[in-house]
Amino acid sequence: MPLMLDNPMETTTHDGDQVMNHDAISAGDIPMNGPMQVDGLDVDDLFGDGVNLTLPNVRGPSRQLAQRVDEMRTRGCAQGIAWSKSGTIAYISPDGRSVQVRYLRADPKTGGWGLSEPTTVDAITASPSTPIVHLAWAATSSNELAVIDAAGRVAILAFSVSLNRPFLTRKWDADHADDLHAIAGCFWLPLASQHKNYHVFHGPAVKDATAYRYESSFIHAFGPWHPNPAKSALLCVTTSGMLRLFWSQSNNKLEETTLELDSFSSSDDLITHASLHSDKNHMYVALATASRQLRLVRPLNPTMTAKHLAISSWMPNGQSGNPIDASMTQISHIELLPSQLDNTGQNWVPMNVLVVRSYLPTTDSPFQEMQSVIDRWEVGHEPSPALHPAFEQMGSRRNSSAGGNDKDPNRLKRLDPVFINKVIVGMQTIHFGKAVCIAFSDGSVEYRDRFTMQETYNELSLDRVMTLNQVGFTFAEGTPCLQVAFSPTNCSVAQIQDDGQVKWNGLYYPLGDIGNSNQDVRCSHRGSHSSGISCDVLPAFTRDWVNELVRMLKVPVDYSEEAHHEALVRNSSLQLCFSILNHLGFNGEFNPRSSSGKFAFLSLNIRNVVILITIASNTPTNMREKLNPLDEHEVIDALCGCAQWSVDLLAYLADSLFALLDDPKFTELLQPRNYSEISNYLRSRADPSLQLLLCSATRGFLSAVCRRLTHLDQISHRAIEFYDRRAAIQNATDPSGQSKVATIALNKSYQRMQHIISNSHIKVQDFDHLLTTLTSDIRSTYQTAFAGLAAQAQQKNESNGTANTQQGQKQIDAQIRGAQIISELNLLLAAQPPAPFLTVLKKLFGQDLRAFRAQTDPSKLFFADLGLLEVDDAPRVLGARRAAARYVDVFRRVEMTNKAGPKEETAEEQLQQRGGRGGPLQWRRCVRCAAVMEDVFGSRPGFTFVLTQQRKCSCGGYWALLPKASIA
């Protein structure tokens, strides 16, 4: 059939007007009596530009993702991975029969961070017919984990000692295995705030010129809470509408009570999803039923009775918003957001209920893009309609004992939904409920404002920083995942991938090389040691970080005026600063540490020794009738190790200071013209001894150690005299009598303690006197140096007319304290000592140290074995320790090895070390600094009491329990 063209001489513009086409071919050029020849023509030009008519190749959802979405639609409790506040990542095994745990830890060989190997929890095993389906962590210090199976049975584990070895605190053997008891939602009560009625919310960081100012605000803290502020309680909602409450008594016995929230008469009344949250001292429960109803229930306090508040449908107009897909009529998540003060801090924003529905396309679906819809409801109050007074009187008499409130929420107002072209696999609130963090199946993460549900924290903002995302940090390119668990800081995510493997994804900085700078620095540091030049190449970054941390958290660092050491020891924020310095200076075990790393390492261990000796010597008043740790030889043996480590530390400090005293180059630096180079020279020596004495915090630790050693020496003398008199009396009255084994062992332990302290290379009293003199000199130097500052401030106040006022004096004192804090912070970070300290150093090395050395024997210090300190980084020493695999126990302060030697312990000795427990020898390794200690358990109350103080490493990191030959 010939191709006919209508009006070949005309064309149509975009406005619809027809115009003459002067470039069109003439009629004579077209054969009208036959088919048109189109071989040399581009037919696509007849219709404009060429158009690709092929459908886009859209990758459909994987089989694993479809199965995961079905699981979330089937039950409300389907979280297969959870991250505790202490760092344990618990997840359900692929077969659903067991729980496995992993954790982030610093690799002992390199110091880099990574996921540990999985550990299977042997305390819980499920059957194939009722697999484990949900995990939920409590915020308690004992790190309780609720494990729930498909039949609604609940078991509770406590990770109180290590991150990977829990204790079973509640078994699920007595629970009924019934589908009607399946859990649709669970919730751990929050811990009571330390500030009673409010939480302290830190942030944002606001940039002022070249520095940041760290703001903080207060957020109301509402119950209900457990009566014990250190405990929590677990609430679960079953499919049949029962509310189960699990809580522990003061004797740690777990109790359970139940409440019927709603009764059901058909399968449509069954609860599929539930969300619980506390708000203004009440507990609210949002329920989604199989009949597509959304209900809000409030269990009344404290009688455990329920009141139904509002009912709505969680489907738009009672039917699917997308009529082509029936799966949109099933929800996958429900989240109850408590009320919050708005950004102005003036008005309360009501509670919100979020419901997530996801769309997964099939091969024959016309819409091939995945989508999630977040439906929102606002919980409000609607006044009841006016009734006749007679009916009101009847209602008031009938409900006089019901405890009703006319202002109770009774309405669910639907808000605009949120559409996202991704599948949501995880959702949680952050910043005390001010933001919602959403995870998607493609591995990406979004933050949305709690009030508007608009995306937030997605733009760079260096002037007002709330999260690391605003300064350029982001998660690595995400890989498809099925489940997600966020870290406590939201700086990392653990993802379960399609193959069931767990992947760790942390924030990194794609806008520069900051993400690799740590590795580059480590390589440079190793290279400097291999060339014989010890140079700390991290000081600038370390100083900036810790300096900002001190300003942000208002960490006390000035203890130059502090006479008592209790406040210093209890300063956990200062411990955190030391822990950061220690980690940045750690290059792997049996590798040299940086100068700042040595300083922090010794500071943390000094603090730990002081705490252990103090705890053992000062039993709480309410426990003195039950235990006395100093009456048990296991405690004294552990303190003997602490005493030996302490006297070795004093010997190391004295030897290092004597070496500086004899160093002519250092002596030249004590001249005013060379004084500015003293900090660089000390860092090049990688010798923290002088810094430990100049910094008021560490000098306070050293003074506390000296006084604790003196106390132990006095106790040892009294104990030895007591047992000698007792033995003489027993021999006189009953020559054939034999003392108890425990008494003999305790006497030997005290004799060993007395021998360690009395035979120290450094007299403890002399070193303490040196510290006292130095402290007095530094205090006088501060007073003299800041007298000029006070005079300047006084002149300024006189010009302002506030010279003699109390306010003016307070301003002067604040300026002096601020200047002194800056000076102490610089000493803590190994910066250049203040100029007035030159006089202090001249007196220290010109008079005090020379007098102190006259009372010691330097030759004994030279040949002393100080291996317990682990500060000698000579290649020969490190190589010998690496070959012998020698470690120092953080608790007992004795050397141990993970290799079998000629003096292998007997079975009885090994059993005694394990506290009578069978099984292979294990040790605890710190996940932050890679320190180790034997996994010992005491059978006597005093030793157990002291051992509980070592639940964390000296750096504040948690322990992981490993076989003794394992590295990580």
Q: How far is CA 272 from CA 74, 286, 330, 750, 941, in A?
A: 7, 11, 10, 65, 48
How far is the CA of 558 from the CAs of 320, 486, 828, 833, in angstroms? 65, 37, 10, 14
Structure tokens at 109: 């060989």
User: Cis link prior to 361 (omega < 30° from 0)?
Assistant: no
Q: How many separate domains does the chain show?
A: 4
Report CA dihedral (586, 587, 589, 595) to the nearest 10 degrees: -50
The secondary structure of 724-737 as a DSSP string is: HHHHHHHHHH-TT-
Whether the bond between 302 and the residue before it is cis, its omega within 30 degrees of 0, is: yes
Cβ atoms within 10 A of the Cβ of 298, count?
18
Q: Are residue 69 and residue 25 in the same domain, yes or no?
A: no
CB-CB contact of 373 with 328 (8 Å): yes
* Residue 463, both tokens: 């002037």
More confident residue, 51 or 226: 226
Q: Is 670 helix (H, G, I), strand (E, B) or coil?
A: coil
pLDDT at 345: 76
Question: What does the pLDDT read at residue 785?
Answer: 85
pLDDT at 939: 79
Q: Which domain holds residue 24?
A: 10-47
Residue 577 has pLDDT above 50, yes or no: yes
Beta bridge partners of 10: 20
Are 783 and 661 found together in one domain?
yes
| SS3 readout for 917-936 | CCCCCEEEEECCCCCEEECC
> Are 30 and 123 within one domain?
no
Select, from the ranges 126-130, 146-150, 296-300, 622-626, the one with the highest average predicted confidence (pLDDT): 146-150
Q: Report whether pLDDT(474) > 80.
A: yes
Tokens of 197: 């009625």
Instruction: Reply yes or no on whether the pLDDT at 504 is more than 70.
Output: yes
571 vs 562: CA distance, rounded Å: 13
Question: How far is the CA of 666 from the CAs of 99, 256, 661, 690, in angstroms?
Answer: 59, 70, 8, 12
Whether the per-residue pLDDT at 116 is higher than 90: the answer is yes
> Looking at this protein, which amino acid is placed at residue 438?
I
The residue from 185, 203, 238 where one domain ends is: 185
Q: What is the pLDDT of residue 142?
A: 85
Q: Are 539 and 547 in contact (CB under 8 A)?
A: no
* Residue with the two structure tokens 């609604």: 152
Residue 714 lies in a domain: yes
pLDDT of residue 323: 47
Q: What percent of the chain has pLDDT over 90?
A: 50
Q: Is residue 286 in a domain?
A: no
Produce one character per residue of 780-816: b if its CB has 16 or more CB atoms within 10 Å, e if not.
Answer: ebbeebbeeeeeebeeebeeeeeeeeeebbebbeebb
- pLDDT, residue 5, reads 31
| C-beta of residue 169 within 8 angstroms of C-beta of residue 254 | yes
Q: What is the pLDDT of residues 594-615, one digit of tens each?
A: 889 999 999 999 999 999 999 9
* 449 in any annotated domain: no
Q: Which of 429, 134, 89 has its CA nearest to residue 278?
A: 429
Strands (E), 182-241: 183-188, 198-208, 211-220, 233-238
- End-to-end distance of the chain based on CA atoms, in angstroms? 81
In this structure, are 30 and 119 located in the same domain?
Answer: no
User: Residue 821 domain-assigned?
Assistant: yes
**Count of other CB atoms within 10 angstroms of residue 463:** 12
Q: What is the dihedral of CA 25, 31, 37, 43, to 10 degrees?
A: 40
Residues 762 and 885 in one domain: no
The answer to the question of residue 938 being in a domain is yes
Residue 870 banded pLDDT, cuts 50, 70, 90:
very high
The b-or-e profile of 579-601 (16+ CB within 10 A means b, else e) is bbbbbbbbbbbbbbbbbbbbbbb
* 654 and 756 part of one domain: yes
Query: What pLDDT score was predicted for residue 775?
Result: 94
User: Which stretch of 534-538, 706-710, 795-799 has the lowest confidence by average pLDDT?
Assistant: 534-538
Last residue of a domain, one of 837, 866, 895: 866
Alpha-carbon gap, residue 848 to 773, rounded angstroms: 8
Report, as an integer, the average pLDDT of 944-948.
90
Would you state the pLDDT for residue 103?
A: 95
Q: What is the pLDDT of residue 301?
A: 54
Half-sphere exposure (Cβ direction) of 940: Cα atoms closer than 13 Å: 16
CA-closest candidate to residue 268, choices 245, 295, 246: 295
What is the C-alpha to C-alpha distance for residues 782 and 776, in angstroms, rounded to an integer?
10
- Report how far residue 83's alpha carbon sits from residue 504's, in angstroms, rounded to the nearest whole number: 12
Q: How far apart are the C-alpha atoms of 917 and 907, rounded to whole Å?
A: 11
List for the chain the helix, strand, coil content (%; round to 5).
35, 25, 40
Beta strands in 479-623, from DSSP E residues, in sequence order: 481-486, 492-497, 502-508
Q: Kindly indicate the confidence band of residue 273, based on its pLDDT and cuts at 50, 70 and 90.
A: very high
User: Does residue 855 sit in the same domain as residue 879?
Assistant: no
CB 146 within 8 A of CB 188: yes
Show which of 159, 185, 211 is a domain's final residue.
Answer: 185
Query: In this structure, is residue 787 part of a structural domain?
Result: yes
CA angle 194/198/203 to nearest 5° reads 100
Strand partners, 372: 358, 420
Q: Kindly report each contact of residues 61-65 with a partner whose C-beta sits within 8 Å and lies 24 or more positions away, as own/partner.
A: 61/360, 61/361, 61/370, 61/423, 61/441, 62/480, 62/498, 64/482, 64/498, 65/360, 65/423, 65/441, 65/480, 65/482, 65/498
Do residues 738 and 665 lie in contact, with contact meaning Cβ atoms separated by under 8 Å? Answer: no
pLDDT digit string, tens, across residues 434-466 = 999 999 999 999 999 999 999 999 888 889 999
Same domain, 700 and 811: yes
Higher pLDDT, 591 or 512: 591
889 DSSP 8-state letter: B
Q: Do the domain assignments include residue 384?
A: no
pLDDT tens across 904-938, in order?
444 444 444 444 444 457 899 999 999 999 998 87
Token readout for 8 is 């070949």
For CA atoms 597, 598, 599, 600, the dihedral sign is positive
Would you say 391 and 362 are in contact if contact means Cβ atoms under 8 Å apart? no
The answer on 834 and 878 residing in a single domain is no
Peptide bond preceding 224 in cis form (omega within 30 of 0): yes
- Residue by residue, DSSP assigns 474-509 as EEPPP--EEEEEE-TTSSEEEEEETTS-EEEEEEE-
Report CA dihedral (577, 578, 584, 585) to the nearest 10 degrees: 160
pLDDT confidence band for 723 (50 / 70 / 90): confident
Residue-level pLDDT at 220: 85
pLDDT at 62 (0 to 100): 87
Handedness of CA 189, 194, 199, 200 (dihedral sign): negative
The secondary structure element, H or E, covering residue 609 is helix 595-617
851 shares a domain with 743: yes
pLDDT band at 521 (very low <50, low <70, confident <90, very high): very low
Per-residue model confidence (pLDDT) at position 391: 58
Query: What's the pLDDT at 88?
Result: 95
Residue 304 pLDDT more than 60?
Answer: no
At 311-353, the pLDDT tens digits run: 666 566 544 445 444 445 689 999 999 998 887 778 888 999 9
**pLDDT tens digits, 19-38:** 334 444 444 444 444 554 54
pLDDT attached to residue 195: 76
Residues 942 and 819 in one domain: no
Is residue 204 a contact partner of residue 457, using CB atoms and an 8 Å limit? no
The pLDDT value recorded for residue 29 is 46
pTM for this predicted structure: 0.84
Cα–Cα distances in Å, from 853 out to 644, 655, 763, 845, 858? 21, 9, 11, 11, 7
Q: Span 831-839, mean pLDDT? A: 92
Within 10 A of 541 (CB to CB), how many other CB atoms are there?
14
Q: What's the rounded Cα separation, in Å, for the pair 28 and 11?
A: 19
Report which of residues 476 and 356 the model is more confident about.
Answer: 356
647 and 706 in a common domain: yes
Q: Give the tens place of pLDDT for each residue, 151-210.
A: 999 999 999 989 999 999 999 998 888 888 999 999 999 988 877 788 888 889 999 888
- Whether residue 54 lies inside any domain: the answer is no
| The pLDDT of residue 10 is above 50 | no
Ramachandran angles phi, psi of 627, nearest 5°: -150, 155
Q: What is the DSSP string of 825-880?
A: HHHHTT-PPPTTHHHHHHHIIIIIHHHHHTTS-HHHHHT---GGG-----HHHHHH
pLDDT score of 222 more than 50: yes
**Residues sharing a CB contact under 8 Å with residue 315, sequence separation 6 or more, in sequence order:** 292, 321, 329
pLDDT, tens only, 382-418: 776 666 666 556 554 444 444 455 667 778 889 999 9
Angle value at C-alpha 42, between 40 and 45, nearest 5 degrees? 145
